[in-house]
Structure 1
């Protein structure tokens, strides 16, 4: 297993160009639009002078309410007035909203060394315009939010999936929109690297790469040199990417050291590229079968991947096969009983997810209103190894959440209670973290360490018998 972890807090982050694409259709009237205003004000207060914000709204059509505005004291007040003036009416044209948001990003005259992101929120099914799931988004991260119980989670997840690192969050509880926005913003404001790529290369005659498991991130293979490259896109501070590489090793007749895998990674930071020196995995080959104890962290990751495949049993529920889907979830629950470290946070999280899904599959109606968006949000979170908001759950395990996300969770809760009291700015957050850990800025943009679990797809004695 290979593991990449983003570095800690730094005040040397790229400026963020953020576009908020907001549904203001007729169904967003009343309390919903009020919650959107609160969530947007939280974001406006968090941004700093190196950041820029544009607001796009959509109903039957789409409108850019303002271009990318640098965040200053004056622009904050102007943006606040703009948000407070939002009204709800018309149909739901998600396609127009997304296209308008992408145009804001693509038409920038100042883009060098800056990070980008689109946050798109909708509470209903698209009933005007084309299919938003078919809109090409290029390299722009698009994070979508399904608001309420009448959302279209399938389309919103598809939009997020079209971008390399986009996510879909399910916000069924209206009071949680500020929290959901805060979690996404916490990531975008702690971007430590962009265009992160991990490359693994086999050693000829010593190993064969059978498969690389890295969620839904794109992979490219070069059969000529036996390499596989995984493209992750951006990585947030303290965010982790785990990759399992399955190697097939040939039989040996005598004991010796063998180089079996070469690993390297590359990324860019504020437009400057970086490529690491290759690292080599060397193992001791004995030519004898020996039962090896698998590392605990590898077993936990394999358990997570197995449970994720079970969560995708929601496809049975889509066919009205609720009983079969529930049986699969119960089997997965029982399998967690065989895990050695049941107190591991990931194991606790998986158990909680399975229990939530079982409740949401008590009937077809409950599944379609609550279970489907919850399951789709869970899938995107696991596939991206990135936190997403799911359902109306506020407490309990928070898979893939970073320290900054935990901090913004509390700030958003406080802001919901007292909207007249602005939260600390991102600059104040960074200063607080650096004061607590003065060495964080000099550790480097990315911490890279390798953990190896060579898993032959067949038992070693079978490999030897095949004469490989």
Structure 2
């Protein structure tokens, strides 16, 4: 009779036709954005708008989202007891007209719930009991909690239920933590740092006969950023927003390894760096605002990461929008800002990329105007590589393909190894013709923005940030005219490099008085040797162009043509000066093209891994920056990866960290060592330093 009585109270409180059942999955309350349906509206269009993943109530039971609103105010729908204002029990009536015991509903909303447990209406005003403790927690499906506790990977940090137990999100994300308290030393100012960029230029040949005319004469400019200082605190701090996929496909090992990778990121951020995490499935939620990674900040952040549970759909567009809001609403700005986005699936809410003919890409939905690079990581064989590459390309970030689950941490390590070593910002390269008869014909700079003066006498390259010891190579072409009146030499162009030194907070200008000069002789005896440096960069650009052409053919469904383009490029590379001198970059490019051809052996193979591998390689060559790619073999690991020493150091640190399960606590403890038993093999994040290719 007791059970029948309680069920009768529930039906009275919630309506006679209301469904009540145990949830099979959980999702964050923030996934509900639709207003409460009226008592008269029960049409299928309302049902269609609601998420398919069940949303738990505060009691752990799934309340029907389509039932009739209860007109009864005699029963509290949370504690199922009589609604009386006795013994200090105040009554709270919400905007939707439903009433609850005040202490019951405050216990519910303090865990992040902003919707009515009965009708699911989203509240603008919520009751808050400032004097209450956090002793009451939302119940979680016991099986989900058991599965979750099996993958606690973060250094003994206790679990905290699910990420829906966080505080309600504010309307404006201006609650970011102060960037540099006065009681701490300002580590970003370093008067002893060497902020000078190394500039080298290479003309295609050193001399041209006065009677000769040369078309597309190439001049290479190579820029190398200064080295990082031994004192790791003497660097500019970072604002990082990580946007993490926790949809249903991330269950099990995937989310376990993602937590481990985020633990590594958190542990390697400094006290002045700030981190915010956006977790998304059917909807997106900010786990915490931009928080400084002090010891306390790390501890709290690890707890929140440790609480994540995978379920629901995939809403990348909303996640990026929320991540951008974190950056645009913040009160304070660290000198370096960046996003990291990881997803293993395709957006189930927004058309992100033209995967089939006729679909239109909504760039404006994906890329809010915050002008911050988004480094994307496509995980596994089911992610939308076209969309992830487009997001990174349009924002100025890198697209990495993580084919094997166990290299998530290493891929993240490589990325933050660069972000934590920014030594040059707002870099611009100006090209000015010196000789009055010369004009700039083209500037080959990959994905970097290039602008040419209408009269061809000058040009500009917007490069942006450089990591410590990172290099950039740009080719400028022009026609060398016949000039019988020329003296012994000809000044061709002058490169002016302007950038901001974030350590000293100064603007640096270099190369103003350095002209690129060639000799103009009466005759040129014999055939001149083409500069190996110029030839090497021509090969890189030729390979990048072939990769783009092959990828376009593969997307049209013509894999035969795509493979023919790659074969043709390999043959041309083999006939160059670099190849004949066994240049290691040329060898690596040939191996890379072969790997891409193998991943185009069939449509199924291309769809599962070829597309992502090709697009990641294209991203790397276009920006001249390292990406993680697939699961390369020993032979293809020689590919030019553009890794910097800081990236290599961070990847090595990641590979020497192993995690061992503690059987008594179901926690995974970190082990640090150099033995081959503890070190993971990372072939997809290439450890081939760029300087070895010289």
- The alpha carbon displacement at 1:335 in A equals 3.0
Q: 2-side partners of 1:245 and 1:221: how far apart?
A: 11
User: 1:9 and 2:245 equivalent?
Assistant: no
The aligned counterpart of 2:438 is 207
Contact 1:95 1:130 in 2 (8 A): no
Q: 2-side partners of 1:182 and 1:173: how far apart?
A: 15
The aligned counterpart of 2:340 is 119
CA offsets, 1:104-128, max 9 Å, x none? Answer: 11222121x6111100011111111
Q: Which residues in structure 2 correspond to 1:71-110 (within 5 Å)?
A: 71-110=293-332
Of 497, 500, 518, which residue of structure 2 is paired with 1:268?
A: 500
Distance 1:183 1:275, change over 3 A: same
User: Does 391-400 or 309-318 show the bigger shift?
Assistant: 391-400
Q: 2-side partners of 1:340 and 1:249: how far apart?
A: 22
Q: Which residues in structure 2 correspond to 1:48-447 (within 5 Å)?
A: 48-111=270-333, 114-129=335-350, 131=352, 133-134=363-364, 135-164=367-396, 166-203=397-434, 205-223=436-454, 226-256=457-487, 257-270=489-502, 271-278=505-512, 279-286=514-521, 288=523, 291-312=527-548, 313-342=550-579, 343-393=582-632, 395=634, 396-397=637-638, 398-417=640-659, 420-421=669-670
Q: 1-side partners of 2:320 and 2:351: how far apart?
A: 11
Distance 1:16 1:371, change over 3 A: same
- The alpha carbon displacement at 1:180 in A equals 0.8
Contact 2:439 2:456 in 1 (8 A): no
- The alpha carbon displacement at 1:315 in A equals 1.4
Gaps of 5+ in 1: 425-468
Contact 1:59 1:93 in 2 (8 A): yes
- The alpha carbon displacement at 1:22 in A equals 0.4
User: Rg: which structure is higher?
Assistant: 2
Contact 1:329 1:358 in 2 (8 A): yes
Contact 2:239 2:337 in 1 (8 A): yes
Q: 2-side partners of 1:373 and 1:161: how far apart?
A: 14
Q: 1-side partners of 2:644 and 2:606: how far apart?
A: 30
Q: 1-side partners of 2:609 and 2:633: how far apart?
A: 15
- The structure whose residues are more often helix, as a share, is 1
Q: Normalization by structure 2: what TM-score?
A: 0.58
- The alpha carbon displacement at 1:417 in A equals 4.6
CA offsets, 1:119-171, max 9 Å, x none? Answer: 0011111111464643244421110000010000111111111123x100001
CA offsets, 1:256-290, max 9 Å, x none? Answer: 13222111011113353322251322222236566
Q: Secondary structure at the match of 1:56?
A: strand
CA offsets, 1:186-210, max 9 Å, x none? Answer: 1101111111111101135231100
Contact 2:327 2:370 in 1 (8 A): no
Q: Secondary structure at the match of 2:629?
A: coil
Q: Secondary structure at the match of 1:362?
A: coil
Q: Normalization by structure 1: what TM-score?
A: 0.86
Q: 1-side partners of 2:574 and 2:296: how far apart?
A: 57
Distance 1:231 1:25, change over 3 A: same
CA offsets, 1:203-229, max 9 Å, x none? Answer: 352311000001110012222572111
Q: Secondary structure at the match of 1:199?
A: strand
Contact 2:435 2:491 in 1 (8 A): no
The aligned counterpart of 2:33 is none
Higher relative contact order (CA 8 A, sep 6+): 1
Contact 2:401 2:613 in 1 (8 A): yes
Q: 2-side partners of 1:124 and 1:219: how far apart?
A: 34
Q: Give the paired residue count.
A: 423
Q: Secondary structure at the match of 1:259?
A: strand
Contact 1:96 1:129 in 2 (8 A): no
Contact 1:133 1:156 in 2 (8 A): no
Gaps of 5+ in 2: 1-219, 353-361, 661-667, 674-694
User: Does 397-406 or 57-66 show the bigger shift?
Assistant: 397-406
Contact 1:17 1:68 in 2 (8 A): yes
